[in-house]
Structure 1
Amino acid sequence: MTKRIACLEMNTGQQKSPVPDRLIAPGYSVESVYTEIRVTPIDAVDLLLSDVVYAEAAMRAARDGCAGVLIGGVPDYGLAAARAASDVPVVGSGEASLLAAAALGEKFSIVTIWPETMDFVYERLLRDNPVGRQCISVRYVSTHAEQSTLADEDNFLTQMKAGREDIVERILAEIELAVQDGAKSVILGCNCMSPVAEILAARSSVPIVDPTTAGYRQLETLIELGLRPARDPRVPRSERQELFAEMVQAADGALGADQEDCPVCVLNDDGTASCDLPANVPAEA
C-alpha cells in the first residue's frame, strides 16, 4: 500500500507539490496540505500565528491518514506542537537541514534569499536546536526594499526560480562570504530556493544543503524505521486537535478577504504565482 506523505504549505491556491518526483521512493506519494489561512511571518506576532496554522494543518494531515508530515518551511512553523499531537513522524525542513549540515562539518552558515528583516525566524530556529550553535553566520541576499517588487511579473524570486545568472551570482557571492566566515557547508534558508540548489551546489566551493531534500529524505527514513515522535510516557498525546481547528476557522472568518498573499507566492491577476517558473523555462533550470 502506498504511504502518503503530507507536505505542509501556505494556502496560496497553487496545487503543486514542492517535492520533486526524483526524491520520492517507490511506495510513497506526496500531497500538499495547505494551511487554512494565509499569514506572512513579518514579525513575532505573525510568526506565532504561523505556528498555530501550520500545527493545525499537521494535525489535520495525521488525522487524515498520512504516514508522515513535512513542514515545508525552514522556520519549522508549529513543529513542537505538531509532534505533541501526532503519532506519525513530523519533520521540519529547518531542523533536518541543521542536522545534515552539522554532519558535514563543525561549522556551517545559512544563506537565504530573504532580507535581514527576517532575521528573527532564523534566530529562533538556531536557538531551538542544539546544533544551531554550530551556525557561524546567516547571510541575506535581497534587501527589504526589493520585497516591494514581489507583485511584479519580473522580481528577484522569479529570476531565481528561472536560474537567472545575476541572481544566482548574488546568492553565490553570499555563499562565498559565508565560506570566508569559516563555514564548511551552507544551508539554503528557504524551501523556495530548492529549484536552484543543484546549480548552486555545482558552483559552490562547499557542500550545499537543500532544505526540501534534507527534510523529505529524513522523513522517509523515519517512516521506514517505524519511528514516531518521542514523548514522556507519563504524558498522553495532546487531544487539542479540534480546538486548533476551531481557532483557525475563527481566524479565517475574522481575517476574511484581508488575508495577505505569501511573499514567496504572490498571486497574479490570472491566478498564477510570482514564484512559478515561466512557461518557457524548463523545470530543471
Structure 2
Amino acid sequence: MSQENLLSRQDQLKSVDIGEGFEFVFRPVKAAPRNYVSQSDMVLADVGILEAGLDAEKEGFLAVCIDTMSDSGVSALRSVLSIPVIGPGRTSMLIAMSLGSKFSIITMWKKWFHLYEKTINDLGIRSSLASIRSIDVTPDNQALLEGKEEEIFPLLETAAKKAIDQDNAEVIILGSTTMHQAHSFLSSRLPVPIINPGPLTYKKAELLLSSGLSHSRNGYPTSPVDKSIMLKAMLNTASDFDH
C-alpha cells in the first residue's frame, strides 16, 4: 500500500469525533488481493490481516479495527488476541437493524455481493435485508474515489434512492470502507441514515473499551500451537510478490 493510499484511509477519522485519549494507528498488510472477488482472494485476505494484527496486543494496542467490509481476519485474530477485534461488515449490519427494520447495501460492483451475502447468512438476518445494489463500476482500491466524485457520487445517490423508493430500505450501508468519501454527500441528500462502516468501528472500539468488553473466548478458542513465526515468514515472502 502506498503512503498516499494509507492517508486516504486515515481520512475516515475526519468523519467522526474521536474521544479524548483514543488514538488510531493505521497499518497496511504485507500481502492482500487487489479486489475481493474469489475464494482464493478471501484466503489471502484472512492470512494477511491475521499476520498484520498478530502482535497488536503485545505492542500495547487496546483494540483492532479491520478496514474491509469482508471482515477478513476478524475471527482468526479473535482466536489469538484478548483485546477487541472489530469488523465493519457485521458492525454495520447490526447497527442498521437497530436504526430501521430494513437496510440496503450500496456498493461499487456486483463482484462484491458475495462478501455481504456471507455475513447476512452467518448472522441469519436475511429478513432485514431490503436489497444490495451496485453501480457497476470497477473499484480503485488505491485512489479510492479521489478525483471521481462528479462521476461516482451521483450514481451512488441514484442507487440509494432506488433502494429507498423501490426496495423500502430504511437505512443505507456503504458497501466498502473505500467508499467513505461519498458519505457526507449522500447523507446530505437522502432521507434515511447512511452508515459509514469504517468510522463506525472506531466508535464501537471506544464503546467496548469503555465498557470493559471483548469477544468470548468460548466462541473464539485459541490454538494449542503458536503459529506466529510461521505466519510472519510466510507473509515476509509473500510481500515480494505482486498480488
Distance 1:200 1:83, change over 3 A: same
Residue in structure 1 matched with residue 81 of structure 2 by the alignment? 86
Residue 245 of structure 1: CA displacement?
Answer: 4.9
Structure 1 residue 175 corresponds to structure 2 residue 160: yes
The CA deviation at 1:100 is: 1.2
Structure-2 separation of matches of 1:255 and 1:35:
9
Is the Cα contact below 8 Å between 1:91 and 1:219 reproduced in 2?
A: yes
- In structure 1, the residue matched to 2:117 is 123
Is structure 2 residue 150 aligned with structure 1 residue 165?
A: yes
In structure 1, distance between residues paired with 2:127 and 2:52: 30
- Counterpart pick for 1:142 among 102, 122, 136: 136
Cα pair 1:84 1:229 within 8 Å, conserved: no
Q: Deviations over 1:212-234 (max 9, x none)?
A: 1221111110011111211229x
The aligned length equals 237
**1:7 equivalent in structure 2:** none
- The one of 231, 237, 241 aligned to 1:253: 237
Residue 71 of structure 1 contacts residue 90 of structure 1 at CA under 8 Å; is this kept in 2?
Answer: yes
RMSD: 2.6
Aligned to 1:200: 186
Contact 2:89 2:116 in 1 (8 A): no
What is the deviation of 1:204?
0.9
Q: How far is 1:259 from its partner?
A: 1.9
Q: Structure 2 matches for 1:45-84, cutoff 5 A? A: 45-84=40-79
How far apart, in 2, do the equivalents of 1:93 and 1:236 lie?
A: 22
> Aligned partners of 1:212, 1:231: CA distance in 2, in Å?
25
Q: For the residues of structure 1 that align with 2:199 and 2:171, how far apart are their CA atoms?
A: 15
Residues 80 and 31 from structure 1, CA distance in 2 versus in 1: closer, same or farther, beyond 3 angstroms?
A: same
Contact 2:30 2:239 in 1 (8 A): no
- Per the TM alignment, residue 254 of structure 1 is displaced from its structure 2 partner at its CA by 4.9
Deviation at 1:172, TM superposition (A): 0.5
Unpaired runs of 5+ in structure 2? none
Choose between structure 1 and 2: higher strand proportion.
Answer: 1
Q: What does the per-residue CA deviation read over 1:46-97, in whole Å, with 9 as the maximum and x for residues that have no partner? A: 1111111112222222221100010011111011111121110111011111
Mean Cα deviation higher: 35-44 or 195-204 = 35-44
Alignment of 1:260-279 (within 5 A): 260=243
Which range is displaced more, 128-137 or 88-97? 128-137
**Distance of 2:122 and 2:233 partners within structure 1:** 28
Q: How high is the TM-score relative to the length of structure 1? A: 0.75
- Note closer, same or farther for the CA distance 1:121–1:36 as it changes in structure 2 (3 Å cut): same
Distance 1:55 1:184 in 2: 34
